[in-house]
Each structure stands twice: as C-alpha cells, then as structure tokens.
Amino acid sequence: MKLRGLYAITDSQLLAGKFLSYVEAALEGGVTLLQYRDKSSDDARRLREAQALRELCERYKTRLIINDDAELAARLNVGVHLGQTDGPLTPARALLGRQAIIGSTCHAQLELAEQAAREGASYVAFGRFFNSSTKPGAPTCSLELLDQARRTLHLPICAIGGITLENAEPLVAHGVDLLAVVHGLFGAESTAEVTRRARAFNELLSV
C-alpha cells in the first residue's frame, strides 16, 4: 500500500460533540491514514470510539492508526503510532505482525528516523514545522531536514505540526508523502468545510 496523502489526526477537545460527523466528513474528502489520538485514561470510551472509527474507516477504505497504544491496536487489528517515550518499535512489530502500519515520531532528528527504519517502521514523522496548538513546545524542523531525509530514507515521510492549506506546499515540494493535520482540518466551521479541506490537502499531494 502506498502511503501518500492526508493523515488526519483526531483531537478529543476540538471534536467534542461532533466527533464522528467531522471524522466522516474528512473521510468523505479522502484520508490515507486516520489516527485516533486520545490521551485520556477512560479505557472504555477509548475502545468504543476506536471501534466506531474502525467501522467508518473500513467503509471509506482508510487505514486506522492508534496513537501510543499497541495493545488497543492489536485488539482492533489496526496500526499504531509510537512517540519517542513509547520504547522501541520492535515489540510493537512483533505484536502487530508484518503487515501492520507502524509510525514513529522522530521530532527534528534524522538519526531517530534512521533508527526507526531499522526497527521496522512503516513511515517516519518529522515535526513540528509551524506553530502548533497540539504540541506547542516541540522543537521546530527545517525544510533542509526533509531534503536529507528524502536522500537517506526509503520510507514514506510524514510532516506534522501546525500544517494548514496555506503553508503545506513547501513541505510537499521538499518530499513529504503524508501531511498530518489536526486543527488545519478539523478546526473548521462545518462538515462541508472539513470535506473541502481534506480534498484540497490531497490535491497538494497528487502531483
């Protein structure tokens, strides 16, 4: 499977009261990967929401990724995205099998991406590139880093951090395959606008 396109990431607070309707609106516009990101400790709700997302993703032929929880990903037979504090990728790969999509947060460090590639990552994520309300304290990445990564890595490259339709174009020009977006997609006034934005992000990547 070619990992290229919009990578939509959920945010429980931003999507409160409109969670499934906004996610479905994004899927309608075309989403390559959908990440369920919920940092709460309410396991029952997380399972319920993740199951609902899996059903939606199956309908739209989108791959679901669970943030930071390989156990939940294994339970639902979907992919996982691991941060640097979540330990090595190898146990997750063993748990989820060869076919599962496993992504790795590499911040602004090429060495972390090279290590993730050796450990069996399906894609690597660099960021943040712009001011991000989701991760305000994260170090910033440069376009030069993307150029280096494109030369040395043979994996899809994901960019994350404050990405909007207005600032995404240079990232694509410097070799990004996946645009990971939270507020730039879901911070819209209506479901119709979410769908429009999703289509527009995909158009940027279709060249």
Residues in the annotated binding site: 35-39, 67-68, 86, 105, 132-135, 162
- Closest by CA to 182, choosing from 145, 121, 135, 124, is 135
Name beta bridge partners: 5. Answer: 178
Residue stretches of the annotated binding site for Mg(2+): 68, 86
- End-to-end Cα, the chain, rounded Å: 18
For residues 23 and 193, the answer to whether their CB atoms sit within 8 Å is no
Token look-up 């990971």 returns 180
Token look-up 């993703």 returns 57
Q: Are strands 79-82 and 63-67 parallel, antiparallel or unpaired?
A: parallel
Q: How many residues does the chain have?
A: 207
What is 121-163 written as a DSSP string?
Answer: -SEEEEE--S--SSSTTSPP--HHHHHHHHHH--S-EEEESS-
- Closest by CA to 63, choosing from 18, 120, 3, 123, is 3
